[in-house]
Amino acid sequence: MRVARLQEIEPTAIAGVNWRPLRSTLGIRAFGINAYTAEPGEHVVEPHDESGGGAGRHEELYVVVTGRATFTCGGETVDAPAGTCVFLDDPSERREAVAEAPGTTVLAIGARVGEPYEISPWEYYFGGYRLRAQGRPDAELELLDEGLDHHPGHAAILYAKACALALAGEREAALDVLEAAAAADDRTRRWAAGDADLDAIRDDHRFPREETT
């Protein structure tokens, strides 16, 4: 048996939300489950759908554990006090939620229908950023490599690895990985343009840049 208390899982601020990695904390392998906490006016679920490149294409259930939130899903608004469950069976449906009360916490639970669970790509680069913030760069790279083992050539994981390598002073390796990320998804050129994590390699002629007209 494993036990975790949400308030004891330190949140990481990333992508506009405060993420508490419940799945990895408990070592859950059958489904995705994570918690998000926000203050009034902040997103407790970021605007997204489950069909994007970093998503798991899951059915998702959101459970408001504490506080109150306003969900907007597919253009429909739902007032969601504690105890409310919001279920989305369509991975392509846009969803977001904004906290309406202090300390609002929402659980997000999901998996693909009829398929063995696989950790979503986003969880690897979110987790890598969390490890970096904890001062654990070696663990960050190890997690990102694990993500690439499961999702070979994934642009966002490659991009996160390039950032980690650049910050670690691994110039050539960072450029190699960043080039691979740009080849996999041209949007990474735009991400790189303003990312201070890559400043150490920005002067190199191999640095992928946005095309200008």
Residue 54's pLDDT is: 74
Residues contacting 176, CB < 8 A, separation 6+:
none
The structure's pTM equals: 0.88
| Domains of the chain (ranges, CATH numbers) | 6-111 (2.60.120.10), 121-201 (1.25.40.10)
Which pLDDT score is estimated for 212? Answer: 63
CB 109 within 8 A of CB 63: yes
Residue 196 clears pLDDT 60, i.e. is over it? yes
Name which of 167, 158, 160, 164 is nearest 199 in CA terms: 167
Element (H, E) at 137: helix 137-150
Distance CA 190, CA 181 (A): 12
Please report how the helices 155-167 and 121-133 are oriented relative to each other, as an axis angle in degrees rounded to 10: 20
Q: What is the pLDDT of residues 91-141, one digit of tens each?
A: 999 999 999 999 999 999 999 999 999 999 999 999 999 999 999 999 999
pLDDT at 56: 77
Beta partners for 18?
Answer: 13, 37
Q: What is the rounded CA–CA span in Å between residue 199 and residue 190?
A: 14
